[in-house]
Structure 1
């Protein structure tokens, strides 16, 4: 026999012991009895009736309508109460009339949701799962643009004396909305380049994840300090939702300074200068400088977005480094040209060519090196969950 107990209130010293239930039934009974923990309850017939009522409610929520509850309180320990619970036979679903109407009737995600979560004939009635399924239908409809969705019938009937429940859910999604025209406001970058970053096109079926992708893509550009993407609900026309994007431009110059220390080069000063946008085409420049007694370096990178600015661009990097440590002195120059683009199968390809030149003096020896190094690389990142991913994979 399973027994659970807990003290309800330190002042009243009230202690409950529950026997006869386990698993989900036990957990739900415990939740319902927790309401008494802050009450200064005095044991008695009225309080016993209230305890019995809460236990029955907890069991009925999980489909058990024929519970028997015996409450026992000893004379020598009046603040210790034992509840002996027999849940009885459960109510099972006899009729599951679940209908998807409108465009959702042919939507794979709605069909999968019905398959996975809908109340099924023969299952024990669980009112929480019933309500959860209804809520899941509403949420999915909003995410996918079924803005006129509604329940044309929503009934849960329980014949406790027959141990049967009858579920009638008719969900009419209506017509799925599509993306309308996209308008940009407050942008300092040319509109054509912003259009190239859209993860959707007018006439595509609406999905809220696409708006999240657009927001992330625009934020990753570094061109803006504030981005607001929203639907223009006041100008919906023929099931088309216009999209408005409002911007605040990023500062034209961002300067960062820092002081560091490492055992190989000692104290070091750093200065980073970033220009997130140089012109309406969205070109950007970044330069980094580091100075220490042993080593001095400066690097600069110039980025040139192409037609699809988020995934296709050139980048040119130029760097110089001077190092003088004990009997070794070296000067290094490197030039790197890179081309990035996204392939049709969601793989990113990077093609590069680097020129490296170094001359050095070590003790009495002087020499130099000149190398040209071509390269190509591929990588792919996948994720599930939209803007709040729960799974990701990178190759």
Structure 2
């Protein structure tokens, strides 16, 4: 019987639970209280001895006060209540935050070159602490971090705080901040050394956006590393300032690179609803000589259209942004009663300006073609063209190939004259745009449009590759590739002088990396603007793959319900 009584007492002891609660604060104040309040670790667990509980409760009251001081509450009062029952010990805190401390003095002094630096003048306007506003310790620390980061970014290597003081007067709930930052003088770029480079130093130096003796900025080094890493010449790139070797307020820079594989081969099957099954063979020589010239070639064989091209690329004055290219291309197509072989050579000058890109091109093309059973024709054109594009986008932080929101605008102008190696004279203009807008974490709106027009008195002489067609994966889904447009007497689509295409789409994130979409497309091409616009509607699934969205759509023509639903498969970025 004695053993049974002991067991019962032990069971009763283990069933006594500690419960801790508090009131009077919420939000970020409550979160900080919970991070400081040690007794919360025992809440919901078997209660320790009552003496231990009382000790933890007294210490908890002080911890609550400490938790609220970073928010400017230095006059906090905490009432502690401890209650015991047969199976529970309760500790309850009632918190009265009291008067909040306000910033009354903000005295920031800069000694050294940073005083007159324009970047510091701009930084001052972004300081989070303002006189007369509540004191936040995090904002005080943020000011110090902002000064340190600015100094490191702009080359004030010797910068340090000689005074950093936060003084709180309890009598009038006031805070006084005193900071003195001795920045020293700004360093400049010293000698740049390049190790293990397989290309000429003169060529690599064309990537530099700075010279020896220029004022130091870490952004210049980061831009250089990104440009060299993105050039495809190197397997690895390391750009670093050698602060340990700095002297006379100049810091040398070390660039270490390792060559990439010089030759790159690719081979692979594929499928596209515009092209059918295809086989791709590619060869790239990443550098032809030590001046960074490159060679790219591709042969793509498919059921509907086969393409082969060789592209010789010459880097410009700024290799990261500018390049010239010489291209030879052959496209053989036999589809929807169009039999065509296109031979084209071109020279191109391309420039990138951050979000802008412009391209000038001069092409000479010859095309042998036949629509249906008509006689085979040949036309030749010398075509100068200019194209500009503007892109603004916010990328998904978890996948840089996915667009969270943004837009693209493009314009292309081209033409030819029958007095300059061309079968006919024409001028054409194409305008296009795409947009992506995220409503919230799950819903997105997508839209695109394309307009084109051509002026010519000899349309019958214009090559099919220069005419406008509609229909296909990137045009009006629900119709086959280039299925929409004016037709000849046999009913064969021969292309038009005008083009209009528009699309509206909404998609929803149903699971990580998966979206479903609803869309409608409009468009057609014609010999004049009175052409009838065709409409389709459809549904789709998107897999957000590491290489970009993979889209599977099915669409139906509204005006032609007798036509079957058409499948479309595309891979590539939204913009």
The 1:326–1:139 alpha-carbon spacing in structure 2 relative to 1, beyond 3 Å, is closer
Pairing partner for 2:108 from 98, 109, 115: 98
Q: 1:64 to 1:356 in 2, by over 3 A?
A: same
2:350 to 328, 340, 363: 340
Matched, 1:237 2:233: no
Give the equivalent residue in structure 2 for 1:62. Answer: 71
Inter-CA distance 350–33: structure 2 relative to 1 (3 Å threshold): same
Deviations for 1:74-115, whole angstroms, at most 9, x for unmatched residues?
444734433211011123333322111111111232233333
User: Aligned match of 1:226 in 229, 232, 236?
Assistant: 236
CA offset at residue 238 of structure 1? 1.1
Aligned partner of 1:28 among 25, 32, 35: 32
Matched, 1:154 2:195: no
Provide the secondary structure at the position in 2 that maps to 1:288: strand
Q: Is the 8 A contact 2:160 2:181 kept in 1?
A: yes
Query: Secondary structure of the residue that 1:141 maps to in structure 2?
Result: helix
Match of 1:370 in 2: 380
Counterparts in 2 of 1:291 and 1:391: CA distance versus 1, 3 Å = closer
Q: How far 1:227 moved relative to its partner? A: 0.8
Whether 1:48 aligns to 2:52 is no
Q: Give the aligned partner of residue 573 of structure 2.
A: none
How far 1:318 moved relative to its partner? 1.4
Alpha-carbon separation, structure 1, partners of 2:336 and 2:246: 73
Matching of residue 281 in structure 1 with residue 284 in structure 2: no
Aligned to 1:132: 142
Asked if 2 retains the 8 angstrom alpha-carbon contact of 1:337 and 1:353, the reply is yes
Question: What is the aligned partner in structure 2 of residue 247 from structure 1?
Answer: 257
| Corresponding residue for residue 203 of structure 1 | 213
User: Deviation per CA, 1:19-68, whole angstroms, max 9, x where unpaired?
Assistant: 22244433322332378337756463112112212111111222212211
Residues 375-386 of structure 1 mapped to structure 2, 5 A cutoff: 375-379=385-389
**Unmatched 5+ residue regions in structure 2?**
1-14, 395-399, 410-575
Q: Distance in 2 between matches of 1:173 and 1:370?
A: 67
Asked whether the 8 Å contact 1:193–1:308 carries over to 2, the reply is: no
Aligned to 2:190: 180
The change in CA–CA distance for 1:315 and 1:142 in structure 2 (over 3 A counts) is same
Deviations, residues 145-173 of structure 1 (Å, cap 9, x unaligned)? 11100111122222323423332210111
Q: CA separation of 1:210/1:54 partners in 2, compared to 1, >3 Å: closer, same or farther?
A: same
8 A Cα contact 1:193 1:307, kept in partner:
no
Which fold has the larger relative contact order, with Cα–Cα distance below 8 Å and residues 6 or more apart in sequence? 1
Query: Deviations 1:215-252 (Å, cap 9, x if unpaired)?
Result: 11112222111111011224322111111111111211
TM-score (norm 2): 0.60
Deviations 1:304-349 (A, max 9, x none): 1233333332111211122345865321212221112468x99644
Match of 1:321 in 2: 331
In structure 1, C-alpha distance between the alignment counterparts of 2:338 and 2:386, rounded to whole Å: 34
Question: What residue is the counterpart of 1:191 in the other structure?
Answer: 201
TM-superposed deviation, 1:273: 0.8
Shift of 1:303: 0.5
RMSD: 3.1
Q: How does 1:259-298 map to 2 (within 5 A)?
A: 259-263=269-273, 265-298=275-308
1:72 aligned partner: 81
Deviations 1:107-157 (A, max 9, x none): 232233333326443333222221221122112111111110011112222
- Residue 119 of structure 2, aligned match among 109, 126, 135: 109
In the superposition, relative to structure 1, how do residues 383 and 192 fare at CA in structure 2: closer, same or farther (>3 Å)?
Answer: farther
Q: Distance in 1 between matches of 2:101 and 2:316?
A: 64
Equivalent-residue separation in structure 2 for 1:12 and 1:223 (angstroms): 70
> d(CA) in 2 for partners of 1:178 and 1:27?
46
Match of 1:37 among 36, 41, 44: 41
| C-alpha contact 1:328 1:363 (8 A) present in aligned 2 | no
- Label 1:101 to 1:191 Cα distance change in 2 as closer, same or farther (>3 A): same
Asked if 2 retains the 8 angstrom alpha-carbon contact of 1:98 and 1:118, the reply is: no
Distance 2:306 2:224 in 1: 40
| 1:341-356 pair list within 5 angstroms | 341=351, 348-356=357-365
Contact 2:392 2:407 in 1 (8 A): yes
Pick which of 216-225 and 114-123 moved more.
114-123
SS at 1:117 equivalent:
coil
Greater shift after overlay, 134-143 or 79-88? 79-88
